[in-house]
Amino acid sequence: MAHDAPGKHDGVHWHEPSGMSRAGFGQFKKQPTPYDAFMEAEGIPCFRGNGIKTVHDLPLTPWKRTGGRGSYVQLHGTETKWGMYVVEVPARGALNPEKHMYEEVFLVAEGRGSTEVWQDGDTRKHTFEWQKGSMFSIPMNANHRIVNATSSPALLIAGTTAPNVLNMINSVAGVFDNPFVFRDRFSGADDFFKYKDEIEPDPVRGLAMRRTNFIPDVINCDLPLDNRRSVGWRRVEPFMTNNQFYFWIGQHELGRYSKLHAHTSAAVLICLKGKGYTYSWPERTGETPWKDGKQDDVKRMDYEEFGFVTAAPGGARWYHGHYSVGNEPFRLTAWFGPHNPGRDPGVPGQKHIDYTGMELQEGGTAIPYWMEDPYLLKEYQAILKANGVECRMKPEWFDTPEKWKDWSRGDRQLPVSAAG
């Protein structure tokens, strides 16, 4: 029996399958989401790819809604996860005031200026000043206006939860013309946008966290020692305006690189200082792609100040590692949107492990240096030599520890000393 397809009657009919055949096309094209349609209607470019060397390479065009010039950014693997864009504020000018029902964080890549923030019904505006390297968050649905104080254009990188909201309610007016006031996200306190540098443990994994709605200089701010990614690795998680938007700031020491580790898509890494490259490949490829003849699965992205790269471009879990090759430490900020470790599937109260910070033999996804593909260190040493930078990867890190020698030879049982 044939049935008219819902919607427009365009002569297309659906037929029930017969015999052992299956319904449907089998293969089909991914359809644009409401957020994709929104970006298209904005009339500015949308950069799609694995990354870009520096944000200054991104083409910008006039953006009527904001009053500046801009481009959307949707790196591979972040589709439907969270949104990103770059906006240029005119010299001695300002962006149009706006408010919206999604979270938004800003990183200043160039320029100096101020931001005004206020709620509907407020009698005064909160104003704070920013410079290159500042980060701040706009409270949900608060009015705001970004002002450039200099005679040159200012450039800001923004991360948002706009796709999450637009794809759910499918209403632009519901996002930009909503009267609800979030008093729990913007208290109106005089020190709301004052930098707070106190460190506390984050409530999920116990890692270093700062509760602050503004950071004047993420390029040079103090970072506490972490050691999870590499020896000397420093890291902090800023928590801003009661957001679900999750990000961290971290730094690899000069002449060192991170352990490769695997997780699913969402993370975008933005270089704040130094320069380097990121390798990534699907977890299914294994830990040693060059050794196993699978190097065609590997993707590499080189980037420098305010360049960015997607950590897991293919949707599933990808291994990725970050390599510092400049003459100063490699400082990064990683943005995840509303996809923090506390959002992993599981029953509330169920025991989880910090799997990206724990090595394979401990039940995590980080590849210890002594298990990684030998090509990585060999190439890294050659690059540093060419750049005149000392390699500070210690040889003993690549020696298999005695207690793990059986495991590394294929015995996947944890030794008694490491179990539990």
What is the per-residue pLDDT across 318-359, written as a single tens digit (0 to 9) for each?
999 999 999 999 999 999 999 887 677 888 888 888 889 999
CATH 2.60.120.10 location in the chain? 34-176, 200-341+355-408
Residue 3 has pLDDT above 50, yes or no: no
**Whole-number Å distance between alpha carbons of 256 and 220:** 19
CA 25 to chain centre: 35
Helix (H) or strand (E) holding 376: helix 374-387
* Class at the top of the CATH hierarchy for domain 200-341+355-408: mainly beta
Q: What is the dihedral of CA 178, 180, 181, 185, to 10 degrees?
A: -90
Residue 415 has pLDDT above 60, yes or no: no
Average model confidence (pLDDT) for the chain? 92
Give the pLDDT of residue 260: 97
Band of residue 411 on the pLDDT scale cut at 50, 70, 90: low
What is the per-residue pLDDT across 13-70, written as a single tens digit (0 to 9) for each?
888 899 999 998 889 999 999 999 999 999 999 999 999 999 999 999 999 999 999 9
Question: 212: Cβ–Cβ under 8 A, 6 or more apart, which residues?
Answer: 195, 196, 197, 238, 239, 240
**Whole-number Å distance between alpha carbons of 354 and 264:** 14
Q: Which of residues 222 and 266 earns the better pLDDT score? A: 222
Task: State the angle between helix axes of 34-42 and 162-169 in degrees (0 to 180), rounded to the nearest 10.
Answer: 110
Q: Are 348 and 379 in contact (CB under 8 A)?
A: no
Residue 1 has pLDDT above 80, yes or no: no
Q: Which of residues 121 and 310 earns the better pLDDT score? A: 310
Q: Which of 104, 112, 62 is nearest to 87 (CA)?
A: 62
Q: Are 310 and 51 in contact (CB under 8 A)?
A: yes
CATH of region 34-176, choose from 2.40.37.10, 4.10.520.10, 3.90.1200.10, 2.60.120.10: 2.60.120.10
